[in-house]
Amino acid sequence: MPLPPPRLALLMWGLAAAFYLFGFFQRVTPASLAPDLMRDFALSAAGLGNLSAFYYYAYAAVQIPTGVLVDRFGPSRMFLGGALLAGAGSLVFAAADTTLVAGLGRALIGAAHGVAWVSMLKLVTHWFAPSRFATLSGLSLAAGTLGAVLAGPPLRWLADLFGWRAVIGASGLLALALAVAIRLTMRDDPTARGFASYLPKGDKDAPRTSVAADLRAILRYPNPWLLALVNSGVCGAFLAFTGLWGVPLLSQVHGISVAQASLVTSSMLVLFAAGGPAFGLWSDRLQRRKLPFAIGGGVMLAGFAVLTAAPAAPLALLVPVLLAASFGAGSMALSFGFAKESAPLRLQGTATGVVNAGVMLGTLVQMPVIGLILDSRWQGVAVAGVRQYDVAAFQAGLVFLLSWIAAAMLLLAATREQRRASSG
């Protein structure tokens, strides 16, 4: 059988990327909507951090189960269920009249989006050549990050025009429409459309094992677990900043509007998105994962060190540093190829789930802890019901974040990379 035409392979990837974009949009909406959420639900910084973290609690909880399930049942079923659940969760969040109901909606969205990344990489393994894996990982990350960009100034503008509840509700209806498209079009493997699969024949013919056996098997490979902890710093800290605390810091410390602060964090997300495919291409050409990842993570660490040391520095200096750090953080896309090559292919979904869980582990802890740090240093100032924090309070939160990133980079040094043969 011939290999699938690029147009068809890209269609399958495009549906997966569209759902990943939606989930990323929902992931960072609290940053742009922070004043609205704090006002409507009477939230402190710690309360806002906890509400935002509901998404990450659920996302992290489903990572390893998703990895096991996608290995056994295929990505298309995971995407279909995820899109349906995400649509329902968005509608619940939009209609919430209490913090508990809002948290439930956020948790449903997080659990739904938790299937996206692992399932997308599984789909890529079937529909694209192995030599394109890191590049497609980077492009997938870029597509998702576009959703985060849309959750910046565009969301703020729409929320001001129609109200945040109407916008979130409309996004939920779009997710349900995407579920229909996935059901009608997406297939797990090219053989379902009469084409040859890129998945090695030996892997497809491997005997099925139990879920418990798959989980026991992945424990024998240290790299996925180490890379999960690395991602909790390199990517988790980046998302904690751009997804929630960057906008309050920039608006309150530098006296700019929420829309202007959202523009800065959206620009950071654009550079993060650009870093994914750039590091992926470089990694594919080098046939190495660890070195490019270490360089990108080092740039991210250096950028956040500058931010921590001088959070009130002029924006003309601070913004370029943050953008460079964001580009470096995009190197986290390499962690998935790194993990994939560190375990048998039949365990790819499980390994990817373990690594992706690390991202959420970092963010779900960092968001509320930074909120607690801010509240502990609050001087009692509030404007229109929204608490205001000084430079020292934000700097204390950044010290916590920077320490986590530094520990993550030390763990990256402990990973071991295998030599890989080039493949077409």
Residue range 357-390, pLDDT digits in tens? 788 788 888 988 998 999 899 888 888 777 888 9
**What 8-state DSSP symbol labels residue 243?**
I
Quick: pLDDT tens for 176-228.
999 999 999 999 989 988 898 887 665 554 555 565 676 677 778 889 889 99
Q: What are the distances in angstroms from CA 203 to CA 26, 129, 171, 280, 344?
A: 35, 15, 38, 24, 9
Instruction: Note whether residue 206 is domain-resident.
Output: no
Instruction: Name the 3-class secondary structure at 320.
Output: helix
- What CA–CA distance (Å, rounded) separates 213 from 266? 42
Instruction: Note whether residue 238 is domain-resident.
Output: yes
pLDDT for 424 = 37
Decide: 28 and 148 in contact? Cβ < 8 Å: yes
Residue ranges in the chain whose pLDDT is less than 50: 205, 421-424
Q: Is 6 exposed, middle or buried (0-12, 13-18, 19+ CB in 10 A)?
A: exposed
Strand partners, 386: 383
Q: Which domain holds residue 16?
A: 6-188+211-413
Instruction: Note whether residue 125 is domain-resident.
Output: yes
Instruction: Note whether residue 116 is domain-resident.
Output: yes
Q: Is 410 exposed, middle or buried (0-12, 13-18, 19+ CB in 10 A)?
A: exposed
- What CA–CA distance (Å, rounded) separates 129 from 199? 8
Instruction: Note whether residue 50 is domain-resident.
Output: yes
Six-digit token pair at 17?
């990327």
Instruction: Note whether residue 301 is domain-resident.
Output: yes
Instruction: Note whether residue 193 is domain-resident.
Output: no
pLDDT for 274 = 87
Tally of structural domains, the chain? 1
Burial call 361-393: b when 16+ CB within 10 Å, e when fewer? bbbbbbbbbbbbbbbebbeeeeeeebbebeeeb
- What CA–CA distance (Å, rounded) separates 249 from 251? 6
Q: How far is CA 183 from the centre of its chain?
A: 24
Instruction: Note whether residue 315 is domain-resident.
Output: yes
CATH number at residue 277: 1.20.1250.20
The candidate with the shortest Cα–Cα distance to 113, out of 137, 132, 94, 89, is 89
